[in-house]
Structure 1
């Protein structure tokens, strides 16, 4: 039998301390420093920021229960359903700025000028950065604004100055995306988006029907059909990772002469949630005044030949060169309710080639403030919101006013039908989209 001695007791105590450090303390320290790059060191791996935990908590609603004789009935609370964004018949407003979440002063200036906080902030992130930064999303979401990322597979810093060569970056050819050369990076983003805990919109490889980006089929040695293959490949990687709180925004430029046909670039309704469109009054080719309807309606009509997905105007703006910006904005808000399939409009609030900013003009700010004050733009976005995936039916046509003294010879079969509408020819060319440094 072993005798209990001081050295033996000391050895046992030392062994217990080593076991406790190895199996209890060390793993916690490792999780805090090595697996938490977003500033929450020391928290459990599944921990969320305090503001997000509170915001995600669904307010309970009382649910009636069946009382048994002689027992007091206590209603069982049930979680409130997640709000749809935007609700049926309503629309959201947003802005896109050059600085995005890295500098929110343009957002604050816009909000102050129009007396309304946008529901969406769109910003660009290029693939050259090769990292996912949660902070830029939280910065936006914490304000009650939905983040929408224009996720661009290129390096904007190497954009050629010659217009025809702007889309030439062989590293970012569609074939490289399809063949998996960016899979590790894509999965990093998918994991990051999954870990956010709230929905975001991903506007991947936009304006693909043009020639000015490396992912366009008209550029960079890309071939017909490769855009759809690349889109599906990226989408499928997100699905494999379990990143399901993503609103996929397929976003061409408004149709123009020599653009790639939209139906050949569409991945299919199973791969798209929202249709996005870019269109401006005042870019090259549309110096002549064109209303909101004149710019967008021909392309929306074309889209309806192959999809009924909701439409978001992901980039728009108007120049004030002719002093008509305020008029254009007023017309936009007048015409929007006539398009129940347009569920959102994002203004390009920046200076690029011309000054598109609303906040730069008192008249434009007042016109925007008056239009956005309508109740249909009042629904906020929250981290619990779910995207609207269908649109409200169009409003019923007004009943014709009967003629109080019809001609005796008139009859329904004698009514002359309206001639078919002639499809307008779009002369709009592409705007210059924002390409913002990703950090």
Structure 2
């Protein structure tokens, strides 16, 4: 059946055409403005727009509210990212609730990034059912949720990294609960860009000759190198995955990273499609992520984290030149026609210390009024914000 989904914004409710299977109308808590009835799509990938790209933000919640960021940028993001340890501790649950309340007030989708810091074995059916129950409550209050579980799992820097068997099992458990209990939500599988794989030297690098090592040795030459597939061993399967995504940053143009340099022309799309061959090395052995997981599998593609490195006080190119060169690649006018599966791009809006470069990096696009004005001025009309939600494609 075909119905309508109500998209709640701070100013008004906008009807979005979606393929839907059921409709609920739970009342909002009395402390908030009443939400309209929220209809539940059969397929969480229906949260992807039929055309255009959802523009989002990874916000440093301790430094800035969603309302403050929207005012600085002049737009309310269509997607808002919140990170949380998983299973949710009491503090993590409180922080997620606070993020939900801000998104409900300002409008948009909550992209909930779950970090299983206690290890993948802690991801049980009970904790995933609890998560899905919370997501369903958010949906019924007018906030769509996309769950990005254990991101950058192909890296060696997180506790869940380079453990393909346990990772896929845990992801499928999360997906089973989400799809059964919170069908208005969706899942996202999101590795790190494969250039530099297998990211040797990290604390959680796979141990030689273990079962995981054998899984990751995709060419079966007894080694794990850049010749092995950095994505496929970690893919949980089409039934479990609604969205696919990739963390993709400009850290500089060559190793060692951390120089204030303008990104090479075309770098963003080349890395997304496995065709990069530049100052950072020849990465043409990296699979075409966009084609394999977006086009071939029919999944909406996201860049859930992106930004361009600028280190204040370090010599090199100016902050605006670096960031503008990167965001203009994200705004490449060829994207809507040539890369129609790209449906979401989220800027990493943090000013934080990065151990990889031993410095505080200002990643922000709205950290100063001058940078924010330049970013806003360059935005194409097909980048979508909460105040201009898109028409969405029907679910199958």
TM range (shorter): 0.5 to 0.7
Structure 2 residue 247 is the aligned partner of structure 1 residue 278? yes
Instruction: Specify the alignment match of 1:87 in structure 2.
Output: 49
| Offset of residue 282 of structure 1 | 1.9
Cα distance change of structure 1 residues 143 and 109 upon mapping to structure 2, 3 Å threshold: closer
Instruction: Specify the alignment match of 1:165 in structure 2.
Output: none
Instruction: Specify the alignment match of 2:201 in structure 1.
Output: none
Q: Conserved in 2, the CA contact under 8 Å of 1:250 and 1:276? A: yes
Q: Distance in 1 between matches of 2:79 and 2:106?
A: 10
Structure 2 residue 136 is the aligned partner of structure 1 residue 149? no
Runs of 5+ consecutive residues of structure 1 not aligned to the other structure: 1-44, 59-83, 155-170, 391-439
Q: Conserved in 1, the CA contact under 8 Å of 2:76 and 2:106? A: no
Runs of 5+ consecutive residues of structure 2 not aligned to the other structure: 1-24, 40-45, 199-215, 217-229, 275-285, 312-316, 355-360
Deviations 1:409-439 (A, max 9, x none): xxxxxxxxxxxxxxxxxxxxxxxxxxxxxxx
Task: Choose which of 374, 377, 393 in structure 2 pairs with 1:367.
Answer: 374
Cα distance change of structure 1 residues 302 and 359 upon mapping to structure 2, 3 Å threshold: closer
Instruction: Specify the alignment match of 1:255 in structure 2.
Output: 194
Instruction: Specify the alignment match of 1:296 in structure 2.
Output: 272
Q: Distance in 1 between matches of 2:55 and 2:389?
A: 17
Instruction: Specify the alignment match of 1:187 in structure 2.
Output: 129
Q: Distance in 2 between matches of 1:300 and 1:315?
A: 19
Cα distance change of structure 1 residues 225 and 304 upon mapping to structure 2, 3 Å threshold: farther
Instruction: Specify the alignment match of 2:6 in structure 1.
Output: none
Cα distance change of structure 1 residues 387 and 123 upon mapping to structure 2, 3 Å threshold: farther
| Root mean square deviation, CA, Å | 3.4
Q: Distance in 2 between matches of 1:341 and 1:266?
A: 18
Instruction: Specify the alignment match of 1:331 in structure 2.
Output: 329
| Offset of residue 202 of structure 1 | 0.7
Cα distance change of structure 1 residues 383 and 375 upon mapping to structure 2, 3 Å threshold: closer
More strand by share: 2
| Offset of residue 225 of structure 1 | 2.1
| Offset of residue 251 of structure 1 | 0.6
Task: Choose which of 185, 210, 235 in structure 2 pairs with 1:246.
Answer: 185
Cα distance change of structure 1 residues 227 and 389 upon mapping to structure 2, 3 Å threshold: farther
| Offset of residue 357 of structure 1 | 0.7
Instruction: Specify the alignment match of 2:349 in structure 1.
Output: 349
Calculate the TM-score normalised by the size of structure 1: 0.58
Instruction: Specify the alignment match of 1:205 in structure 2.
Output: 150
Q: Conserved in 2, the CA contact under 8 Å of 1:326 and 1:363? A: no
| Offset of residue 331 of structure 1 | 2.9
Instruction: Specify the alignment match of 2:21 in structure 1.
Output: none
Structure 2 residue 299 is the aligned partner of structure 1 residue 319? no
Q: Distance in 2 between matches of 1:383 and 1:195?
A: 22
Residue aligned with 2:232, SS:
helix
Q: Which has the larger radius of gyration?
A: 1
Residue aligned with 1:151, SS:
strand
Task: Choose which of 162, 167, 180 in structure 2 pairs with 1:227.
Answer: 167
Calculate the TM-score normalised by the size of structure 2: 0.64
Q: Give the alignment of 1:421-432 within 5 angstroms.
A: none
Q: Distance in 1 between matches of 2:363 and 2:59?
A: 10
